[in-house]
Chains A and B, each alone.
Chain A
Amino acid sequence: MTRRAKRIVIYNHKGGVGKTTLTVNIAAAFVSLGKRVLLVDSDPQCNLTAYSIESNVVDDLLDTSDDEKKGRTVWSALKPISEGTGNVKTIRPYELSSNLFLLPGDIRLSEFEISLTSLWSECVQRRIRGFRGVTALSSLVSDIARSQDIDYIFYDAGPNIGPLNKAILLDCDELIVPAACDLFSVRALKTLGHTLSEWIKEWEIIDTLAPDDLYLLNGKPRFLGYIPQRFRVYRGEPSAAYTSYLSKLEKNVESEIIAVLRKIDTTLAPRSVSETMLGQIQDFGALANAAQNEGVPLWKVRGAGSKEQKESARQTFLNLSKQIIKRAQSV
């Protein structure tokens, strides 16, 4: 079987741009479009896990994650690599609902991240141990995706530029950049484009020198698009400040991400900037908070929001997801 589940990361190293909320809602929309989805909580803060699972269950998961038999978080699987005692342990994902699975996160993933620093240098030195280490999460995810017949994998990555996110970004087929409409988000795009391009170039050489028949990362994450977030609506129109940031965002996406990636390889950013805005997500305010508390997508919230608001959220995410699927499937 050669079909490989598409790996998507919704990533921006700038925090507070709504990565997790976006990921949860897009994944839910994918499921309602008939896709089988695996969510990978690869942020040691475990926000995605906390969002998706009841808190007493999360506590239980984290309490037993170190246990060789009971452990079923991402740490339970990667611990042998981190401690140099063996290979990735196979674990069963958590079934959130029909067609939606979660590989639970773990605070101790930060320990794995610490060991990744030296594993990356071993990888650069072409040592097999290094390759096994930096591809460990990817191969774990591959195993789960195969066993559950997954169509799409979403990584939820922490807001930083570190060795773990390097392994995640380089494993993905598609990158979606969420950006809030503020000065910091606009500026962050420059670091993001630059870092990503350095990572890709480094991996290219690692890949060239890698031994034959070794499991490797994809190494070529495509820039699928960006999502301006949290705009406020006044009298049915986006605010003036938002509109001004929107054009700055577009400019920076073009010069700091698309142009930078195309310098390496045009297929890394195949679309023009106007085609990469996937949709705009408004600030859902109280509805977003309630969704987090209830652990459901925005349109399934019971305790807040009007019917129209929820329907609008559902439509927004369905449209967004259709755009993503369309672009992800094009070669």
Chain B
Amino acid sequence: MSSKISKMEADRIDGLVAYYRENLEQFKRFMGSVQSLFSNVEALTPYVHSTKWRIKDPEHLKDKLKRWVIQCKENNERFEVTKENLFEKVTDLVGYRILHLHTTQINKINKVILDLLVKDDYVLIEGPIARTWDSESETYFKSIGIETRDTGRMYTSVHYLFKANKRTLPTCELQVRTLAEEVWGEVDHMINYPHPSHITACREQIKVLARVTSSCSRLVDSIFQSYNESCIQPPIQEKRRRTNPNKSAKDNRAVKRSRAKRKS
């Protein structure tokens, strides 16, 4: 890959990465503020399974910019990233991800996210946009007022882009997806990233995995719907309070106990 990049282009990329490194402290602080925004939010805990966050590793930024340069060359386009627009063009230098169990929980999660962003005066640039390839999911997202976009890739994830204020460029990319989608994403990332695997079977299997993933999230939706409809007790998802993964085993035991009680 490096053979396709000229010395001048490589220097330019190095300059951009160095500029990112110089500003890393600001990104760390931004990351910290986003963490603080979403942590200990009582309204989210019944729906959120776990959260992940990171700021982009400068080496990964370098790889991304290299791929970008090559892509531009192949498409006969100009590579237009400069120090002045780097933080605007690369939107995922700060990334936060919320994982939940099944699709329909996004309705509640989305409302809380938008409230939190307004309350602390963040500037929403884009979103929520549901990236999905599954037409049934698409119908669902539209029904709850979330715009959809088919990116040609086989995953479902709701994205938001926001920044600290109007004056600054850095953005945070927030993704909300189901646990099953996270599994698909991890497998796809390991096999097809940064370049699509040359093993046809793997690429095919990952496509099939996407169908299973979609079905899995759909099935869990249905299970909870059936459970909640037939249940006199408060719906189970309202009772779950699981923010800390360490607490989950205890919570599961509690759920089992309450089910056993109900049976008897």
Contact = CB atoms under 8 A, between A and B. Distances in A.
Interface in B161-189: 164-168
A126 B94 CA distance: 15
Interface string B112-136: 0000000111110000000000000
Contact of B165 (A122, A125, A211): A211
B30 A209 contact: yes
A209 to B, nearest CB: 4
Given A211-B120, A212-B123, A214-B121, A124 B29 contact: yes
Contacts, number: 49
Nearest to B34: A126
B74 interface: no
B194 interface: no
Interface string B134-176: 0000000000000000000000000000001111100000000
Contacts of B197: none
Interface in A74-128: 122, 124-128
B33 interface: yes
Interface string B229-246: 000000000000000000
Contact size range, B:
10 to 19
A168 to B, nearest CB: 23
Contacts of B29: 124, 126, 205-206, 209
A210 interface: yes
Contact of B33 (A209, A212, A214): A209
B36 interface: yes
Nearest to A206: B29
Contacts of A125: 32-33, 35-36
Contact of B168 (A122, A128, A209): A209
Given A205-B25, A205-B29, A127 B168 contact: no
Contact of B164 (A122, A124, A128, A208): A208
Interface string A175-210: 000000000000000000000000000000110111
B167 A126 contact: no
A203 to B, nearest CB: 11
A126 B120 contact: yes
A110 B81 CA distance: 50
B120 A128 contact: yes
B32 A124 contact: yes
B26 interface: yes
Given A126-B33, A128-B121, A214-B121, A205 B26 contact: yes
A209 B165 contact: yes
Interface in A230-253: none
Contacts of A128: 119-121
B121 A209 contact: no
A126 B29 CA distance: 9
A135 to B, nearest CB: 15
Nearest to B119: A128
Given A126-B33, A209-B164, 5 more contacts: A125-B33, A126-B29, A211-B164, A212-B123, A212-B167
